[in-house]
Amino acid sequence: MAGKNIVEITDGSFEQEVLQSTLPVLVDFWAPWCGPCRAIAPVIDELSAEYAGKLKVAKCNVDENPNTPARYGIRAIPTLILFKNGTVTEQITGAVAKSQIAAAVDKVVS
């Protein structure tokens, strides 16, 4: 389900791919059965292309990787979390407008 600029992450790769990343990271916590997750997937793909080189975009399937969502208290999906230097800077829950996600991303990539 991930586009070419999107990294699939697991509980095992989360530390290296997200917390140790030199770039800010947008993590999309999703599941294949989630309608709103599928609805925002094209938006996430567009953002991954638009911010290529400035932002790492990752997807975490919550069904296959329960530990990471539990660690961040995720109770609803889709949930998008922005990390910078291993720290959560922004969290967005639900299928929201691209402009809202881009505004959050702009805060961490500038």
Contact of 78 with 91, CB cutoff 8 Å: no
Q: Which of 37, 41, 62, 80 is catalytic?
A: 37
Q: Check 9, 26, 27, 34 and give the catalytic one.
A: 34
The angle at the Cα of 30, spanning 15 to 99, to the nearest 5 degrees, equals 95
Q: Is 60 among the catalytic positions? A: no
Nearest to 5 by CA among 50, 60, 61: 50
Residues known to be catalytic: 34, 37
